[in-house]
Amino acid sequence: MIERIPFGSTGHTSSRAIFGAAALGAMNQARADKTIAKVVEAGLNHFDVAASYGDAELRLAPWLKDNRPSIFLATKTGHRTYTKAREELHSSLERMGVDQVDLIQMHNLTHENDWEVAMGPGGALEALIEARNEGLVRNIGVTGHGTYAPAMHMRSLETYAFDSILVPYSYAMMSVPQYAADFESLYQMCQARGVAMQTIKAIAARRWKDEDTEKKFSWYRPITDAQAMKRAIDFVLVRDGLFVNTSSDATLMDVVLDCMAAPIQAVDVEALAADAQNLGIEPLFVRDVSDDVVIKS
């Protein structure tokens, strides 16, 4: 059974496994319907989507028509200005056929220039606060990829009382001393302030290489070995208060859900290190080298 805990101070009790609805982005409706049914049956009651995830918001709409109250619904905007963020939020509401989302997030707010625009006068944050006052959203969060995400989230939290953050967290990333130190500082801040902490890339093995020949269903190469995947997911779930978002690779959904539903095992550092060695697992983000998401066709 997938555990449910308070999602920060939002008042919602969310499954610690959050459905990463990016997996729906390129699906037809029939397959999307089956995927949604599968995650709901597994006990996930928190969906995370974004305007930029292809047709994912559209694929959710038919199910939401009859089931909206049963889940915590989150989406994101990547725009930094008031006007564009407001327009994108209204577009998301229309695409999903809903009057309100439980969480709107500023997507990947980790670059200095973007941060200054989004958080400043006429920025996206103003639009999202206005939307909350209008009842279009209930909570406001911020997400980030790359090694600067923890530090930038702390800066954001010092500026505004965000309800949630989203950040990479894995054994490989936490093996990098600078990243680990920044994450620990962010963790302590969020715990003290009641800010929900979502994590991503738990089962990321590494970036794709030119010589990789297998089919690619996400922008990074995932861990596919079931036992290694279980250890990678438990590395997140063993820590109090952390949520883990499922992969955008829907072909792994069954095994991911099985791993998340099984009893959480204590961290076995030797086994995780062996997984890294045997499966070629490495940090997905390297400071000032590969800090951004790069999607190749």
Answer whether 261's CB lies under 8 Å from 43's CB.
yes
Q: What is the pLDDT of residue 156?
A: 98
For the residues 97-126, what does the mean pLDDT come to? 97
Helices (H) and strands (E) in the chain, counts: 11, 12
For the residues 86-98, what does the mean pLDDT come to? 98
Query: Which one is predicted more confidently, 19 or 295?
Result: 19
Angle at 176 between CA 174 and CA 177, to 5 degrees: 100
From the number of C-beta atoms within 10 Å of its C-beta (0-12, 13-18, 19+), residue 28 rates as: exposed
CA atoms of 50 and 36, how far apart (whole Å): 16
Q: What digits encode the pLDDT tens for the residues 186-242?
A: 999 999 999 999 999 999 999 888 888 888 878 888 999 999 999 999 999 999 999
CATH of 4-279, one of 3.20.20.100, 3.50.50.60, 1.20.1510.10, 3.20.10.10: 3.20.20.100
Q: What is the pLDDT of residue 295?
A: 42
Query: Across the strands, what pairs with 256?
Result: none
Q: What is the pLDDT of residue 166?
A: 98
Percent of the chain with pLDDT over 90: 89
**Domain range list for the chain:** 4-279
Q: How confident is the model at residue 293 (pLDDT cuts 50, 70, 90)?
A: low
- SS3 call for 192: helix
Q: What digits encode the pLDDT tens for the residues 129-167?
A: 999 999 999 999 999 999 999 999 999 999 999 999 999
For the residues 49-71, what does the mean pLDDT come to? 97
